[in-house]
Amino acid sequence: NGTDSTNATVAKFVSTPEGTALAYGSLVLMALLPIFFGALRSVNCAKGKVRKVEKKKQNNNNIALQLKSCIFFLFVLKLFVFIFSEEYINMLLSMYFFVLGILALSHTISPFVNRLFPANFPNKQYQLLFTQGSGESKEEIVNYEFDTKDLLCLCFSSVVGVWYILKKHWIANNLFGLAFALNGVELLHLNNVSTGCILLGGLFVYDVFWVFGTNVMVTVAKSFEAPIKLVFPQDILEKGLAANNFAMLGLGDIVIPGIFIALLLRFDVSLNKNSRTYFYTGFLAYVFGLGLTIFVLHTFKTAQPALLYLVPACTGLPFFVALVKGELTEMFR
């Protein structure tokens, strides 16, 4: 019986160097895409807010509320890991991210879809309006304007959502994950560099504690079937799209440094020097920090808090460049 049990045991797959390199390289590329395009779109988003001061105040309040809600949600999620059954939490998360993922992916692909259609495309306008009260006391609760192209984006995103719900395929997970990351970098705006330093510093400690101090972060990442991370199989060369031995990167390790890099790009634009020095500096610093994370991860074979390496890189190098150029005071202004 002992011999049979031993023979029946499936040996754990050991990834090849080629498969590991491909997985890590793909994760780096997927992390860079939402930061790059999200930062570019954040400039246009910020310009739109400047044109409407009242709208800007409202949006900033909404963004602050959303950020607080996300942090509270993640904190409660980590605590609930050990209280409720993993099956029920996965079911709840699947429905939650199904709705959010469809909206996020639709917003992400909308600019690309708009370029595909000719100018004479019959694009009808629609408005979804929900109000409270009547007369002078009437208050808008929901006022959403959209068009035919937006509906097409929504249909495509819904197909991806159904695919994700039914199959939990890693490609569908990554499509939603990339959409969440890009929207986060685009819409979550830091108002100044000092705030960015405080946020990154706090989450630096947070990340280190939850990875090295407890096993909660690793448990959440591995246990829950939700697009809160990007994944890429290390055995894709052997098993193709059915591969299941994943390397992973949390979305927080993309969005948190990403919103700071987007701030650097908006600072470049504000200088009116036709230069993107600080944006490219922060972008290269992110590549270096993520590469260092992967190197340490591969060397010690244990989970690493990516912000431990990303935060010093993404803040230190741009500050050094600003100090050399004599623009450090202006940057913090």
Read off the tokens for 331: 């940057």
Amino acid at 217: M
Q: Is 235 a catalytic residue?
A: no
Cβ 196 vs Cβ 314: under 8 Å: no
4 as an active site residue: the answer is: no
The single residue listed with the structure tokens 């504690």 is 209
Count of CB atoms situated within 10 Å of the CB of 113: 14
Whole-angstrom distance, CA of residue 23 vs CA of residue 45: 33
Q: What is the distance between the alpha carbons of residues 211 and 213, in angstroms, rounded to a whole number?
A: 6
Dihedral sign (CA 164, 167, 168, 169): negative
CB 291 within 8 A of CB 310: no
Residue ranges in the chain assigned as alpha helix (H): 2-8, 17-51, 53-80, 86-116, 148-167, 170-187, 193-208, 216-223, 236-239, 252-271, 277-300, 307-325, 328-332
Q: Which residues contact 211 (CB under 8 A, 6 or more apart)?
A: 217, 218, 303, 304, 305
The Cα 328–Cα 323 span in angstroms is: 5
Among 4, 147, 150, 207, which one carries the catalytic annotation? Answer: 207
- Taken as a whole, the chain contains a residue count of 333
Give the Cβ contact number of residue 152 at 10 Å. Answer: 17
d(CA 238, CA 169): 17
From the candidates 150, 235, 253, 268, give the one annotated as an active-site residue. Answer: 253
140 — phi, psi (to 5°)? -80, 125
Q: Which of 291, 289, 294, 222 is nearest to 258 (CA)?
A: 289
Residues noted as catalytic: 207, 253
